[in-house]
């Protein structure tokens, strides 16, 4: 059986049994399953299988069937003949929606004729939202117990996977603030833009009391 026929058989079967998902407004059919199902510890990791010609855009949130997924790697296996056979994706399920803000110092803000800071809605200082409603994956890193308050948790640190496509209009930097839908603020401590390059930023965050 030649490679082209195998490729079309795989695509035909995935298109037949797959569910509809969206990547950057493009619809494609895929099967998404839990990764590492033999592990006792629940994880947020999933794998995706789609036809070789599915419209999947690097760095964009994948959504469908009521779920949202942040891609960390999109793999297109190629045979010795140079033909892509199917698309395999590695995903993390989104479990939070956040706003990303940066702080603008009033000293550097635009001034009106009286020398007061001005801007959108009368202000352009303080915490200004740069991106809103971004679906992300919060993954617990560690909980740090306080030595002063026995039995209480002082700080929580998480690793947050953010779709690379936020970079289209705003690139997150350390010191940014994330605000979740429970109105809790988080401070960005570090950013890893190498591990999941072109797919997701990995942010290390902690609770923000600024």
71: nearest Cα among 137, 159, 170: 137
Of the three residues 47, 75, 93, the one that is the final residue of a domain is 93
Do 73 and 125 have their domain in common? no
pLDDT value of residue 200: 97
- Would you call 16 helix, strand, or coil by DSSP? helix
Q: Which value, to the nearest 10 degrees, does the dihedral of the CA atoms of residues 129, 134, 58, 31 take?
A: 180
Give the Cα separation of 177 and 74 in Å (integer): 29
Do 83 and 136 have their domain in common? no
Q: Which two tokens stand for residue 162?
A: 């953010």
Neighbouring-strand partners of residue 179 = 99, 185
Neighbouring-strand partners of residue 159 = 139, 204
* pLDDT tier at 24, thresholds 50, 70, 90: very high
Do 89 and 135 have their domain in common? no
Of the three residues 93, 111, 134, the one that is the final residue of a domain is 93
Tell me the average pLDDT across 82-86. 80
Query: What are the pLDDT digits (tens) for 114-166?
Result: 877 665 555 567 888 999 999 999 998 765 555 555 555 556 789 999 999 99
Do 74 and 114 have their domain in common? no
pLDDT value of residue 2: 63
Indicate yes or no: pTM above 0.85: no
Answer with the residue of higher pLDDT: 19 or 152. 19
Domain count, the chain: 2
User: The domain that contains 29 carries what CATH number?
Assistant: 2.40.10
Give the Cα separation of 94 and 107 in Å (integer): 37
Q: Is the distance from CB of 135 to CB of 163 less than 8 angstroms? A: yes
Do 104 and 199 have their domain in common? yes
E strands present in 16-113: 19-23, 26-34, 45-51, 62-64, 67-75, 86-93, 96-104
Domain region containing 197: 96-207
Answer with the residue of higher pLDDT: 80 or 15. 15
């Amino acid at each position: 059986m030649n490679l082209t026929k195998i490729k079309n058989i795989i695509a035909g079967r995935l298109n037949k049994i797959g569910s509809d998902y969206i990547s950057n407004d493009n619809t494609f059919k895929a099967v998404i399953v839990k990764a590492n199902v033999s592990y006792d510890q629940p994880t947020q990791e999933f794998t995706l299988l789609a036809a070789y010609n599915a419209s999947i855009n690097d760095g964009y949130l994948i959504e469908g069937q009521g779920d949202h997924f942040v891609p960390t790697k999109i793999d297109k296996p190629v045979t010795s003949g140079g033909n892509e056979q199917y698309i395999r994706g590695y995903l993390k399920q989104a479990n939070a929606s956040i706003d990303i803000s940066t702080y603008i110092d009033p000293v550097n803000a635009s001034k009106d004729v009286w020398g007061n800071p001005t801007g959108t809605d009368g202000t352009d200082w303080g915490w200004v939202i740069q991106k809103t409603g971004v679906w992300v994956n919060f993954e617990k890193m560690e909980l740090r117990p306080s030595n002063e308050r026995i039995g209480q948790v002082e700080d929580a640190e998480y690793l947050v996977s953010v779709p690379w496509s936020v970079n289209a209009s705003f690139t997150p930097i350390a010191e940014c603030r994330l605000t979740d839908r429970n109105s809790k603020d988080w401070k960005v401590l570090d950013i890893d833009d190498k591990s999941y390059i072109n797919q997701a930023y990995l942010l290390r965050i902690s609770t923000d009391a600024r």
